[in-house]
Amino acid sequence: YPRPALTVDTIVVSHPELPSHDKMEMLLIQRKHPPFQGHWALPGGFVDEGETLEQAAAREVEEETGYRVETHADLVQVGAFGDPGRDPRGWTVTVAYALAVPRTKPVEGADDATRAQWFSVEELPKPLAFDHDKIIRASFERLAQGARDAHAATLTLAASRLE
């Protein structure tokens, strides 16, 4: 049977309750290469052979932004997205994660990213690469339905600010 390529994408948001930040922000990368060269996107990429999904998500966040994911337990899986047309390079399925972090370390675009930058969730650049707008919206809606932990509660607040 034909098999899709497997990717991961991570929605990284800052904790809004930190005294130094009064609004929730999302970390995006500007793509260095086609497709969608120059467009803003979620940190993410292909899963390497022998890697778990969580390892791939943590690796991609660090490679593209310089932000080190301290523990894989902080990654909350929020869904899988497999629209056959989501990637012009071919059939890919992505597993999306959410991660709420303190915004205490500088970020810098590297690897496949020209830049990494924090954006207010109310002012995300549009359109994002691939189907990342859809992934963010769907992920926030799913988390809003069942916010059970601190990370999900933080992302639920972000969902209310997207509209």
Which tens digit of pLDDT belongs to each residue from 110-128? Answer: 888 999 999 998 899 999 9
State which amino acid sits at residue 126.
Answer: K
CB under 8 Å to 161, separation ≥6 — which residues? 24, 121, 122
pLDDT digits (tens, 9 = 90+) for 23-52: 789 999 999 999 999 999 999 999 999 999
Structure tokens at 77: 């899986």
- Which class in CATH covers the domain with range 5-162? alpha beta
pLDDT digits (tens, 9 = 90+) for 61-76: 999 999 999 888 889 9
pLDDT at 160 over 60: yes
Cα–Cα distances in angstroms (integers) from residue 116 to residues 3, 40, 55, 65, 144, in the given order:
31, 9, 20, 6, 27
Note the pTM of the prediction, 2 decimals: 0.84
Helices H, strands E: what count in the chain? 3, 7
Q: What is the pLDDT of residue 112?
A: 85
The secondary element (H helix, E strand) that includes residue 7 is: strand 5-14
Give the 3-state secondary structure of residue 132. helix
Q: Measured in Å, how far apart are the chain's first and last C-alpha atoms?
A: 41
Percentage with pLDDT > 90 across the chain: 62
Structural contact between residues 99 and 12, judged by C-beta atoms closer than 8 angstroms: yes
Q: What is the pLDDT of residue 144?
A: 74
Higher pLDDT, 47 or 102: 47
